[in-house]
A and B are shown apart, each in its own frame.
Chain A
Amino acid sequence: MYDIVVIGAGVVGGMIARELSAYRLALCIVEKKHDVAMGASSANSAIVHAGFDAKVGSLKAKLNVRGSEMMEKVCEELGVKYKNNGSLVIGFNDEDRATVEELYKRGTANGVKNLKVLDSDELHAIEPNVSKNAVCALHAPTGSIVCPYELTVAAIGNAMDNGADLKLDFEVTDIRDKGDYFEIVSAGETLQAKYIINAAGVYSDAIAKMVGDTSFTVHPRRGEYVLLDKECGTLVSHTIFRTPSKMGKGILVSPTVDGNLLTGPTSVDIEDKDDRSTTPEGLAHVMREALENVDSVMFNKTITSFCGLRAVGSTGDFIINLPRERFVNVAGIESPGLSSAPAIAEYVIELLANAGMPLEKNASYQPRRVAMHAFREASMEEKNAIIKKDPAYGRIICRCETVTEGEILNAIRTNPKPRDLDGVKRRTRAQMGRCQGGFCSPYIVEMLAKEMNVSYETVTKFGGESLINVGKTKEVK
């Protein structure tokens, strides 16, 4: 019997689990996919929003501003890359200027610090590559960037190091109310838990329905991105947004913490909650609008394009409540969900405490986690000391991103352990570079097979049927 089960291993479920692991609780995270960080938390804009977007007085506004304040420390503890690069919302005409003023007021009311409205000269002085047609901008110095899947992996890894269980390939298909506990049913195993946190992203309405809560729905909204080579990573230093219009927030251009340049997202409502496909129109839209905002974005240096699905709730705000005893919804966590995640976790603990959940501090709780990129950032002397102890750190596997065998093995052996190629990619950046795994994936398949003690041809890209090979040569029929 678990004290508490968190459904969904995204950044929200992950941060909540980490926060819960600071208490003496039998805790389990369940996730239907083959790895953690496979939903919205793997494909989004990666921005820690300052907090000027959300409606004054909303839960979104409150948790965004609080989360953004907490984020740097959380990342430092978890060994996750974080960069306070500042955001700019640029405007092209009088109407935009009015919007910029409006955002300034709203942000200030939300408690965002140091906002400033810039004129064209001030804007171009700090961002010379922003379109010359831009006439004004809102500058939010507290806006930052993180790597969302790195944060998710680290939060869940840290929770596991503090005693939490993780069950992957565990799709919750039903929840049975047993009076003072729940049964959480999947195709394989059934778990028992006193409390449940519903952090199932776009599917959180389906989970809520399992306990009879039909007070909200969640629908998917597609966001497509184009990611460019590191060569382009310094085109802008701030995150460049367009002033929002009725059509949404528009296409942003931003550096990433890993040094690439990210452009996107589109914003289109769709039906299928699993449809992560990109469209020709969407990608064209991203490229066109990015070029309107920033000069000479080099799309011939594209290394990949991808799509994420926003979990848009029917209430217009984050839905965080207890629709019934011992069951917490954390639903409709669309943007700025990533920014808010640490604050959401704090808020959920508060809700649980107020609802009478016994919360006793876990004396051995360790909030810190060794950074996955520790080796990469070490000095030459430090690296040589490590290589001396473990020669695998002298062997480069991923040439584009310079990732060593030692780092990959370490990732494969560290909670939450990756079991597929994409999992290794998200943790180590191997296969993430300009050749996109062309050189190194055959070796990583080999390392995974060996470490997991399975045969070469059973290794997948991301679980399920996503096999890399279909059999041995000469044996294929």
Chain B
Amino acid sequence: MKQIDLVIIGGGPAGMSAAVAAYESGVRNLLILERDAHLGGILQQCIHNGFGLHRFGEELTGPEYAWRYEKQVWELNIPYMLNTMVLDISPDKVVTATNSEEGIFQIQAKAVILAMGCRERAKGALNIAGTRPAGIYSAGTAQKYVNLKGYMPGKNVVILGSGDIGLIMARRMTLEGAKVHAVCELMPYSGGLARNIEQCLNDFNIPLKLSHTVVEIHGKERLEGVTIAKVDERRRPIAETREYIPCDTLLLSVGLIPENELSKTASVPLDRVTGGAVVDQDRQTEVEGIFACGNVLHVHDLVDYVSEEAEIAGKSAAAYIAGENAEKVDVALHTDGKIRYTVPQRITQKKAVTVFFRVADVYRNVTVKVKDGDNVVYSRKKPKVAPGEMESITLKPETFANAGALSFELEVQ
């Protein structure tokens, strides 16, 4: 069996950043495995701009952002295999993969970085009643048809869910000549970035219908229309508000799910809220030597943060392979529900750590508090927080050096 120090699963922005960081930290025997025909992951089909503002201070398109990392992979001669699908990872880090040239093969790795990204929640999960015609796509699939294949999935569009891909596709379909009749969002707020609502909907007069959902699908062969309805506080459709919208296309942007099927084969424990692995500040999972970063760990809104996180994973994997040991602590991070989750979920080293988190609802005038028991070790005021925008705070080592657990709480005025 081939022996490789570091195997990185996935060649999207997370995988590439992690590889570059690991290389720069001294790892030379490494390999990226990517199932697609190119590096770049989902960024390849994100031809709109808005990537890289934080990292590079410029507005890049998805492919341009990916290229910045792909170039480094090339320049550093970091090996990668394309069209290669990983089928299994064992807890002792034997990676089984397949491609056309090698067939099914196995690699014994010292460390593995999971960077498989996420996928869209499919229609089935919504259990919408009605017929099952052609014309219903996840927003990402439609994006692939339009941007990569050059075909239009439809002309009269309703979008369910105001996730970022849905918002982007509302604009894209409009620019390509389709009519987007409405974007329906089940929640009373959008899950997408504020800037996307402005630039993708408002600029094109596309109505965003908050607290609305699609309750029925019509049409025998191709979609002919959808019935939408307003929902009450408990998200149940209100019958009197039913409204029929004729359309030939329904795009779904109803959430992203980290793709952790492989992590499960490696017995990596997952966080119920994020759908990704439980990790420490190094992005090491609870299986020693297996790290995770990017959207497979938790869904990010900005790729810039993916790169940042992947660099942590890459560096830490390098340190793990080199057998470096730092002073240990063990602090579990808990949340109060208003804060839905944190990444990392635990701290095991006594060094400054940036903790990312998401909130459960839109709140105004809040104070983010971190408590060790009753003791507030950190506190910061914020005018507004929303589920669509990831937040972060940095904790100094002295705030948790002697704590068994920290509690992340949101105080709403």
Contact = CB atoms under 8 A, between A and B. Distances in A.
B70 interface: no
A89 B176 CA distance: 56
A128 B102 CA distance: 44
Contact of A394 (B103, B125, B141): B103
A380 interface: yes
B387 interface: no
B104 A456 contact: no
Interface string B128-143: 0111111001101100
B152 A472 contact: yes
A356 interface: no
Given A399-B85, A469-B152, A283 B221 contact: no
Interface string A426-458: 000000001111110110001000000000110
B352 interface: no
B92 interface: no
A474 interface: yes
A274 interface: yes
Contacts of B204: none
B332 interface: no
Interface in B121-157: 122-125, 127, 129-134, 137-138, 140-141, 144-146, 148-155
Nearest to A379: B104
Interface in A453-475: 456-457, 460-474
A457 B151 contact: yes
A387 B125 contact: no
Interface stretch (B93-101, B300-308, B342-350): B93-101
Interface residues of A, number: 58
Interface string B68-86: 0000000000000001010
Interface hub of A460, A462, A468 (most chain B Cβ within 10 A): A468
A410 to B, nearest CB: 15
Nearest to B126: A302
A477 B176 CA distance: 9
Contacts of B215: 280
Given A276-B132, A279-B129, A471 B152 contact: yes
A131 interface: no
Contact of B149 (A394, A435, A456, A470): A456
A384 B129 CA distance: 44
Interface residues on B, range: 35 or more
A58 interface: no
Interface string A376-411: 000010011001100110111001101000000000
Mostly, the B contact residues are mixed
Given A304-B124, A442-B149, A460 B134 contact: yes
Contacts of B140: 438
A383 B104 contact: yes
A282 B129 CA distance: 9
A303 interface: yes
Contacts of B100: 387, 391-392, 394-395
A456 B98 contact: no
Contacts of A446: 149
A280 B119 contact: no
Nearest to B123: A436
A394 B101 contact: yes
Contacts of A279: 129
A226 interface: yes
Contacts of B98: 383, 387, 394, 396
The residue in B85, B100, B104, B148 that gathers the most chain A C-beta atoms within 10 A of its C-beta is B100
B100 to A, nearest CB: 3
A395 B104 CA distance: 10
B43 to A, nearest CB: 16
A219 to B, nearest CB: 19
A283 B151 contact: no
Given A380-B104, A384-B104, A472-B152, A302 B132 contact: no
Given A434-B122, A436-B122, A462-B134, A471 B222 contact: no
A412 to B, nearest CB: 18
Given A434-B122, A473-B176, A442 B141 contact: yes
Contact of B103 (A383, A434, A441): A383
A177 B177 CA distance: 54
Contacts of B217: 277
B118 to A, nearest CB: 11
B160 to A, nearest CB: 14
A282 to B, nearest CB: 7
Contacts of B101: 391, 394
Nearest to A441: B141
B99 A394 contact: yes
A259 B10 CA distance: 27
A280 B35 CA distance: 38
Given A438-B122, A442-B144, 6 more contacts: A277-B129, A302-B127, A383-B98, A462-B221, A470-B248, A471-B151
5 contacts: A227-B124, A304-B123, A438-B120, A467-B222, A473-B146
Interface of B: 35, 83, 85, 87, 98-104, 119-120, 122-125, 127, 129-134, 137-138, 140-141, 144-146, 148-155, 176-178, 215-217, 220-222, 248, 261
